[in-house]
């Protein structure tokens, strides 16, 4: 089985040092992309980047900032930027040159947002919510079947416009009790977690990364 992309997203509800601790543990155990999300202060983002970049020489992972690519953020040592629908629209309206920003990712929740994402041709896309997120009130979820339909929409929309289909990554409520439903799904390139990064037993024989 092709190794899947394993994304960890920072949990801004925790103390910043606790967040960094869990991201470091995830990286050491196979997380290959960290998305810094939920931090508005430049000083916090700088601090997280500095701490995680210390692992770059030893571990192979990408560090991504979920934010509009301001000049200040572009000066940081990161591997790319991630956009929600608001920043996606702003980047398109501002005609931002994304060619030198590294890996570009987007978050999508609907067909309309997939169509919007096609305008910037991202490298990867987070599709959510697959399952009920633990950090939110009850929301309408896609489930595995709905996820597959969203991925079909990606291929249809991007192929019509002769664009490369981005890698698709499942997000939302993924934890140690349901991730196996996605591991055997060959149309998914990876999956992303937030709080569940500290719940999954990476090093055990039954752990997440050993199933990949």
Question: Which has the higher per-residue pLDDT, 182 or 33?
Answer: 33
Question: Which has the higher per-residue pLDDT, 209 or 37?
Answer: 37
List, as one string, the DSSP characters of the chain.
-PPPEEEEE--TTS-HHHHHHHHHHHHHTT--EEEE-S---HHHHHHHHHHHHTTTTTS--EEEEES---HHHHTS--SEEEE-HHHHHHHHHTT---TTS-EEEEEE-SHHHHHHHTTT--SEEEE--SS--TTSS-----HHHHHHHHHHHHHHHHHHTT-PPPEEEEESS--TTTTHHHHT-TT--EEEESGGGGTS-TTSTTSTGGG-
Write the pLDDT tens digit of every residue in 74-120.
999 899 999 999 999 999 999 999 999 999 999 999 999 999 999 99
* All structural domains of the chain: 5-211 (3.20.20.70)
- What is the pTM (predicted TM-score) of this model? 0.90
Write the pLDDT tens digit of every residue in 16-68.
999 999 999 899 888 999 999 999 999 999 999 999 999 999 999 999 999 99
Q: Report d(CA 151, CA 168) in Å as an integer.
A: 7
């Amino acid at each position: 089985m092709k190794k899947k992309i394993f994304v960890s997203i920072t949990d801004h509800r925790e103390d910043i040092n606790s967040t960094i601790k869990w991201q470091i543990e995830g990286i050491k155990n196979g997380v290959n992309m960290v998305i810094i999300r939920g931090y508005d202060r430049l000083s916090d983002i700088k601090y997280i980047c500095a701490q995680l970049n210390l692992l770059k020489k030893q571990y192979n992972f990408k560090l991504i900032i979920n934010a509009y690519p301001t000049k200040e953020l572009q000066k940081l040592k990161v591997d790319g930027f991630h956009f929600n629908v608001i920043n996606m629209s702003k980047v398109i309206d501002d005609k931002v040159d994304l060619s030198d920003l590294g890996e570009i990712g987007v978050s999508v929740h609907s067909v309309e947002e997939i169509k919007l994402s096609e305008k910037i041709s991202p490298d990867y896309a987070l599709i959510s919510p697959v399952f009920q997120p633990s950090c939110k009130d009850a929301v309408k979820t896609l489930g595995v079947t709905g996820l597959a339909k969203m991925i079909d929409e990606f291929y249809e929309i991007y192929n019509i416009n002769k664009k490369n289909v981005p890698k698709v990554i499942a997000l939302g409520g993924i934890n140690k009790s349901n991730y196996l439903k996605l591991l055997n799904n060959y149309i998914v390139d990876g999956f992303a977690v937030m709080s569940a990064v500290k719940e999954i037993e990476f090093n055990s024989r039954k752990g997440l990364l050993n199933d990949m």
